[in-house]
Amino acid sequence: MRISTRRRAVCLALCLALLTACGNTAAASTPPAAQSAADEQPEPTPPADPYRAPAPALSEFHQDAAIGTAAVGIDVSCVNQGYVAVSATDDARLKFQVECGGTKYNYDLPGDGTPESFPLQMGDGTYSFRVLENTSGTKYAAIYETSASVTLDDEFQPYIRPSEMVNYTADSACVAKAAELAQMAGDDAGVAAQVFAYVTQNITYDSAKAASVEDGYLPDPDATLAAGTGICYDYAALTAAMLRSQGIPAKLITGYVEPGEIYHAWNMIWLENTGWITVDFEAPAHSWQRIDTTFAAGAGADFTGDGTSYTDRYTY
């Protein structure tokens, strides 16, 4: 999706910047005889000792722990686990602001009382939380605010659980699919490879959606999985949801790619084991590694850049 500075429609992506393969192109050009031989290959079998995912990390809203007013509740009881949860009721448009160390993140907040969780991605420190109400035009005023001192259990906490931007539950279809794929892997690198292959081979880029998506769009990983199409934001959210549900830290990053300063989305993942994510790329252990599934799926340079130049703007 080519986006001007006036209209930055978010397109998601999860992919290894070194990839150039896309979809099923190779299969389409395979000679009939070779294709027939390939069709006769046995189905892959699970490893003798498949990957065992840890218990899922969730981000629940605890009403009994929430502080605020009759209309606003902010739950800071789990900030050490890397998230804050909020519920609010208001007829006006609402936003939720998270601030730490001079950096602010502003999120849309539903006014129907539906709880939402948000990551504490700025590390340890004193966080300020504000529920803002639209007063006129683009102006907002705080209707409730509080703060909390945060010491994360570890740096990965915000990236192993759901949030408004990476939305899933233990019962989500994308979680079930990730668990199915994980049974074909022996370690976390194998799971990442399975998820990467599945997303890039089964989700196609929706250029019409990219041209019409509006500000404030939020991805739905299960909807992307069901539709089999999406924009870069959808790719990145689906990838992050699948990996997180299996205990693999995954960031969703939005920012700019070149050439053309295209607004884009991709992922960063952390592995405990070195492993080949594709035949061309081996991800190292114990370091954050970029993957761009939108680029790998063959969305095209007009939407994903050339896969070599990335500038982070927001991390979720």
C-alpha angle 105/287/164, rounded to 5°? 30
38: phi then psi, degrees, rounded to nearest 5: -65, -40
243: in domain: yes
Check residue 19 and give its pLDDT: 38
Same domain, 198 and 127: no
Same domain, 169 and 300: yes
3-state helix, strand, coil in the chain (%, to 5): 25, 30, 45
Check residue 46 and give its pLDDT: 87
Same domain, 177 and 292: yes
The pLDDT tens digits of the residues spanning 138-193 come to: 999 999 999 999 999 999 999 999 999 999 999 999 999 999 999 999 999 999 99
Check residue 40 and give its pLDDT: 56
d(CA 149, CA 95): 22
Same domain, 126 and 151: yes
Q: What is the mean pLDDT of residues 238-259?
A: 97
Residue 1, pLDDT > 80, answer no
Same domain, 175 and 296: yes
Check residue 41 and give its pLDDT: 54
Mean pLDDT (the chain) is: 89
**Domain-terminating residue out of 119, 136, 159:** 159
Same domain, 198 and 235: yes
Same domain, 205 and 302: yes
271: in domain: yes
Please enumerate in sequence order all residues whose Cβ is within 8 A of that of 154, keeping only pairs 6 or more positions apart, or say none: none
Q: What percent of the chain has pLDDT over 70?
A: 87
The pLDDT tens digits of the residues spanning 14-47 come to: 334 333 333 333 333 444 444 444 455 567 788 9
Check residue 235 and give its pLDDT: 98
Check residue 278 and give its pLDDT: 81
The pLDDT tens digits of the residues spanning 213-232 come to: 999 999 999 999 999 999 99
Check residue 8 and give its pLDDT: 37
Same domain, 170 and 279: yes
Range of the domain at 283: 165-315
CATH number at residue 133: 2.60.40.10
152: in domain: yes
Number of domains comprising the chain: 2
d(CA 131, CA 86): 9
Same domain, 104 and 243: no
Same domain, 130 and 195: no
Same domain, 153 and 184: no
Same domain, 217 and 144: no
**Domain-terminating residue out of 159, 184, 206:** 159
CATH number at residue 242: 3.10.620.30
**Domain-terminating residue out of 132, 159, 186:** 159
Q: Would you list the DSSP string of 177-232?
A: HHHHHHTT-SSHHHHHHHHHHHHHHH-EE-HHHHHH--TT----HHHHHHHTEE-H
